[in-house]
Amino acid sequence: MSRILAAVAVATALTAACGIAQGPRASAQPDGDTATCESATHPIPVVLLHGTLDSAVVWNVLAPQLTAAGYCVYAPTYGVAGAIPGLGGVAPVAESATEISSFLDRVLTTTGAGQVDIVGHSQGGTITEYLAKNGGRSSRIRSAILLAPVSHGTTLSGAVEVATAFPGLRELVDSTVLPTFCAGCADLETGSDFITALGAGPLARPGVRYAVLATRDDVVATPAGPASFITEPGVTNQYVQDLNPQPVSHKDLPRDATAVRWILENLGMAT
């Protein structure tokens, strides 16, 4: 019984670190439907992918700015599963990646474009990396603009190490407790099967332009910076504090004014 209680405690810490306590949200939400859209100014559509235990609402600052600038913008809520209604990024990450791959096909069909630019936050960034490398979609992704992606697995501020330190505890958490309400959380842990497969060999794919922005204040994608950065030739890696020294949490990156400006600048570089 004590081991089960410990497993529940660790699982609670893991999901809290993943960002279940997101705080208040504004009501405006980007349209995740693949409605027909054409733009002579920006012919490459932009797909926005939220993170774990989140939804497309997180893009309600960025999406209107992109739309006003003439971009075709698509922001699905993906990976809705388990016992937490209304939140995405909960399903196994590979399943969410398959869902997003099909979504990309619909975007390309309805816009007539040959490629997309993806802006991915946290798990959304990881899925972008996975689709380009393991999902065979690199030719369809022009730019991967990533906010604190879990590129190399996360220690979740030490919760993973705590679970690993007790014999059998991490296995119990990952195989029994987390799958009940957040299988995606377990997939993003350091050393998981998903992260091991993603990290086998170079991560960046030829032909895809990668830009990664991390925050030094991150307690979700940890260690902050190294968990996210792709230290390979041609990849731009940067801390948001190098642009503005103000503190920024992991969950606030998609709405942070400095991060939004960085995204817009990197999309401009992709034109």
Task: Kindly tell me the burial class for residue 62, based on how many C-beta atoms sit within 10 Å of its own C-beta (0-12, 13-18, 19 or more).
Answer: buried
Contact 244, 213 (CB under 8 A): no
SS (H, E, C) the chain: CHHHHHHHHHHHHHHHHHCCCCCCCCCCCCCCCCCCCCCCCCCCCEEEECCCCECHHHHCCHHHHHHHCCCCEECCCCCCCCCCCCCECCCCHHHHHHHHHHHHHHHHHHHCCCCEEEEEECHHHHHHHHHHHCCCCHHHEEEEEEECCCCCCECHHHHHHHHHHCCCHHHHHHHHHHHHHCHHHHHCECCCHHHHHHCCCCCCCCCCEEEEEECCCCCCCCCCCCCCCCCCCCCEEEEHHHCCCCCCCCCCHHHCHHHHHHHHHHHHHCC
In this structure, the dihedral spanned by the alpha carbons of residues 61, 67, 71 and 77, taken in order and rounded to 10 degrees, is: 60
Return the exposure string of 157-181: e unless at least 16 CB atoms fall within 10 Å of the residue's CB, then b. bebbebbbeeeebbebbbeebbbeb
- The domain segmentation of the chain, as residue ranges, is 30-157+194-269
- The pLDDT value recorded for residue 99 is 97
The CATH architecture of the domain made up of 30-157+194-269 is 3-Layer(aba) Sandwich (3.40)
List pLDDT tens digits, range 199-257.
Answer: 999 999 999 999 999 999 999 999 999 999 999 999 999 999 999 999 999 999 999 99
Asked if the model's pLDDT at residue 33 lies above 70, the reply is no
C-alpha count within 13 angstroms, C-beta hemisphere, residue 198: 29
How does residue 170 score in pLDDT terms, banded at 50, 70 and 90? Answer: very low
How does residue 183 score in pLDDT terms, banded at 50, 70 and 90? Answer: confident
The CA distance from 198 to 152, in Å, is 8
The CA distance from 101 to 128, in Å, is 9
List pLDDT tens digits, range 46-77.
Answer: 999 999 989 999 999 999 999 999 999 999 99
Contact 93, 149 (CB under 8 A): no
The residue behind tokens 């995606």 is: 184
Over range 162-184, report the average pLDDT.
Answer: 54
Q: Can you state the angle between helices 93-111 and 123-133, rounded to 10 degrees? A: 70
Over range 184-195, report the average pLDDT.
Answer: 90
For the chain, give the mean pLDDT: 83
Q: What are phi and psi of 66, to 5 degrees?
A: -65, -45
Residue type, 188: L
> What pTM was estimated for this model as a whole?
0.85
- The pLDDT value recorded for residue 269 is 81
